[in-house]
């Protein structure tokens, strides 16, 4: 087996848990790996197919008679989705959804592809039997692990299952009666209302409707990648009375693709704070240009992610993204690491070695912690920015490069310029476009949004069953200052996921250091004695919450809205006043 492909085989076991078949195909189009789910779905054993050309075995069964991987192999640029029909040993047709995604080696070159597929037959059989008035089937749909919603002839939502609530973060009573534009935007909403189009049966697979990838915007403003499948709903007389839409969360697919390509997309951007929204709106414009970018922000705010987002949205996205941490290497090694050296430049230099600038040629060079770059190298970097050429260590001939520079620092470069520790001319050369990322302490409204986003991403990556955080644990997370910002939050949640063996994260699953810090904070603020507030105020607020809970029949979402506060704020206050809701 080609060695670079081995690192992808562990994904087979992960997808076995999801009942997803996986084939790994090498660049010469031979089958190199097959997981157990693939054996079950294709009725072939791994021993029968490994080493054979994939088209010899599966061209008709899984590829509709035509190979989805183009010639030459390297032109497969991203995931391709196929709907195929496979006939089993008993002659029954099975509807198969297949995704083909390229695989890359450490050098960024294509080394093969991965095919992921699953059997949709049972689901489509259920959908084909749906009738608008059948409440029993609606109960079944309400318990599926896939989002399902229906709309009437006017395009208004009249059914919204539990998974749709989970994906969108909307309680059904808030979304019923609205158009699908509230979730998917105007374009997809209009397509979902084209009932005449759904009635046209596709001659190829016998199913009508539309299937497309898109975006779902949650109640909290997060954007989730989804696949939307829509078909018409008919009554007993065969008259179209509305439409049914299934919504599949593609976050796991994007997470897999990001792990394979190490490329980030706009789905990684989270934040409703005005300062963050301003940055998000600027990124597409910045990415399209060739300008140098300077990113400033405290440790752990996501400067590395921001640089990858800019590169991933730029015309250079298919070229290398090379990172250099200017603070991680001693001064004596930094110059040779960045600019490379020629044979004989120093003792032990027995061959030419290209530097990071040459590695990044045509792409982006990310200089992290540039404030720690020695003055001796700052002049050389300035020359590269001005002339797009440099001399390797010990070299006499200039090397031409085409590199975009993105620099980042957790130190104010203005202050370092005043202290004569950073060249003023280099600062102005870097400071063409400047992005300042605020810390979490400066944008507290983003904390619950980030907790939800990170927990979902980590759960998908680790195939964890955790789906929620208890109110006491959420209170601790929401009241922590996060001096390490988003990186610290990720570490805390990853710790909790590893320790938690159930579906709910409790305070005991959080790091001990966080619990100790919370205890000290509570003691210092006087919460142990009187709850950190006056008895008069606590009595009034507690009474108002209890009264509103009773009025809203103890529905937390409705109570939070009636009180004019976020649901997580209501959780905190209920925990503070020892208010519990049974059931």
Q: How far, in Å, CA of 121 to CA of 124, rounded?
A: 5
Full DSSP string of 60-72: HHHHTTS-SS-SS
| pLDDT value for 583 | 44
- Closest C-alpha to 306, from 435, 450, 484: 435
Asked if 401 and 388 count as a contact pair (C-beta separation under 8 A), the reply is: yes
Residues 215-269: tens digit of each pLDDT = 888 887 778 888 888 887 777 667 777 888 888 887 766 655 555 555 555 545 6
Contacts of 389 (CB under 8 A, 6+ apart): 383, 398, 399, 400, 401
* Residue 122 pLDDT exceeds 80: no
Q: How far, in Å, CA of 454 to CA of 473, rounded?
A: 15
* Residue 461 pLDDT exceeds 70: no
| pLDDT value for 528 | 35
Residues 25-48: tens digit of each pLDDT = 888 888 988 988 888 888 888 888
Asked if 344 and 385 count as a contact pair (C-beta separation under 8 A), the reply is: no
In this prediction, residues 371-385 reach a mean pLDDT of 90
Query: Given pLDDT bands bounded at 50, 70 and 90, which one contains residue 346?
Result: confident
* Residue 531 pLDDT exceeds 50: no
pTM beyond 0.85, yes or no? no
Query: Given pLDDT bands bounded at 50, 70 and 90, which one contains residue 434?
Result: very high
Query: Given pLDDT bands bounded at 50, 70 and 90, which one contains residue 523?
Result: very low
Q: What's the mean per-residue pLDDT of the chain?
A: 79
Q: How far, in Å, CA of 33 to CA of 8, rounded?
A: 9
Query: Given pLDDT bands bounded at 50, 70 and 90, which one contains residue 408?
Result: very high
* Residue 405 pLDDT exceeds 90: yes
In this prediction, residues 64-72 reach a mean pLDDT of 68
Q: How far, in Å, CA of 396 to CA of 400, rounded?
A: 13
Residues 133-180: tens digit of each pLDDT = 566 666 667 667 788 888 887 788 888 888 888 888 888 888 888 888
Asked if 503 and 467 count as a contact pair (C-beta separation under 8 A), the reply is: yes
């Amino acid at each position: 087996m080609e060695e670079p492909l081995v690192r992808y085989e562990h994904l087979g076991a992960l997808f076995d848990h999801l009942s997803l078949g996986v084939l790994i195909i090498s660049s010469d189009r031979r089958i190199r790996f097959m997981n157990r789910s693939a054996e079950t779905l294709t009725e072939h054993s791994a021993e029968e197919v490994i080493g054979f050309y994939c088209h010899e075995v599966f061209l008709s069964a899984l590829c509709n008679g035509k190979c989805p991987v183009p010639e030459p192999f390297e032109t497969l640029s991203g995931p391709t989705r196929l709907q195929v029909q496979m006939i089993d040993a008993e002659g029954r047709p099975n509807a198969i959804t297949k995704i083909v995604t390229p695989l890359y080696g450490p050098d960024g070159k294509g080394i093969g592809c991965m095919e992921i597929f699953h059997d949709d037959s049972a689901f489509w059989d259920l959908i084909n039997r749906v009738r608008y008035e059948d409440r029993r089937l609606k109960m079944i749909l309400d318990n599926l692990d896939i989002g399902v919603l229906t709309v009437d002839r006017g395009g208004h939502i009249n059914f919204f299952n539990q998974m749709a609530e989970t994906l969108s973060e909307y309680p059904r009573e808030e979304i019923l009666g609205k158009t699908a534009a509230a979730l998917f935007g105007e374009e997809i909403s209009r397509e979902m209302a084209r009932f005449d189009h759904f009635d046209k049966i596709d001659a190829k697979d016998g199913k009508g409707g539309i299937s497309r990838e898109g975006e779902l915007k949650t109640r909290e403003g997060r954007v989730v990648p989804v696949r939307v499948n829509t078909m018409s709903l008919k009554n007993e007389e065969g008259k179209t009375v509305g439409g049914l839409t299934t919504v599949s969360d593609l976050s796991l697919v994007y997470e897999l693709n990001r792990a394979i390509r190490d490329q980030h997309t706009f789905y990684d951007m989270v934040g409703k704070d005005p300062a963050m929204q301003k940055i998000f709106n600027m990124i597409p414009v910045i990415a399209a240009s060739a300008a140098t970018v300077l990113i400033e922000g405290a440790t752990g705010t996501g400067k590395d992610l921001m640089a990858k987002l800019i590169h991933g949205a730029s015309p250079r996205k298919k070229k290398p993204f090379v990172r250099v941490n200017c603070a991680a290497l001693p001064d004596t090694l930094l110059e040779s690491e960045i600019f490379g050296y020629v044979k004989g430049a120093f003792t032990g230099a027995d061959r030419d070695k290209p530097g990071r600038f040459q590695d990044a040629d045509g792409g982006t060079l990310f200089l992290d912690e540039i404030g720690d770059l020695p003055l001796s190298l700052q002049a050389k970097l300035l020359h590269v920015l001005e002339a797009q050429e440099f001399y390797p260590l010990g070299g006499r001939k200039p090397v031409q490069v085409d590199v975009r520079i993105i620099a980042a620092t957790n130190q104010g470069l203005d202050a370092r310029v005043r202290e004569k520790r950073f060249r003023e001319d280099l600062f102005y050369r870097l400071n063409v476009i400047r992005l300042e990322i605020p810390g979490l302490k400066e944008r507290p409204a983003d904390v619950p949004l980030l907790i939800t986003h990170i927990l979902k991403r980590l759960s998908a990556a680790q195939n964890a069953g955790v789906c929620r955080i208890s109110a006491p644990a959420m209170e601790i997370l929401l009241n922590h200052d996060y001096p390490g910002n988003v990186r610290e939050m990720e570490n805390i949640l990853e710790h909790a996921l590893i320790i938690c063996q159930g579906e709910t994260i409790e305070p005991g699953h959080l790091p001990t250091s966080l619990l100790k810090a919370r205890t000290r904070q509570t003691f210092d603020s006087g919460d142990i004695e009187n709850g950190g507030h006056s008895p008069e105020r606590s009595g009034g607020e507690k009474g108002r919450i209890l009264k509103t809970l009773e009025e809203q029949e103890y529905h937390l979402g409705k109570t939070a809205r009636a009180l004019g506060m976020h649901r997580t704020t209501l959780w905190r206050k209920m925990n503070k006043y020892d208010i519990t809701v049974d059931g």
